[in-house]
Amino acid sequence: MNGALKRYRIMAYAVGIGLILLVVVAVPLKYWAGVPEVAKVVGQVHGALYILYLVAVLDLFRRARLSPLSLLAMVAAGFLPGLAFFVERRITATVVERRAPRPEPPSQGPGQETSTTRAPSTTTATTTPPGSGGRRRSS
Q: Is the pLDDT of residue 128 over 70?
A: no
Residue 97 sits at the vertex; the CA angle it makes with 91 and 99, to the nearest 5 degrees, is: 105
Q: What is the pLDDT of residues 33-91, one digit of tens each?
A: 999 999 999 999 999 999 999 999 999 999 999 999 999 999 999 899 999 999 999 99
What does the domain layout of the chain look like in residue ranges?
Answer: 2-98
- Whether 4 and 56 have beta carbons less than 8 Å apart is answered as yes
Distance CA 22, CA 33 (A): 14
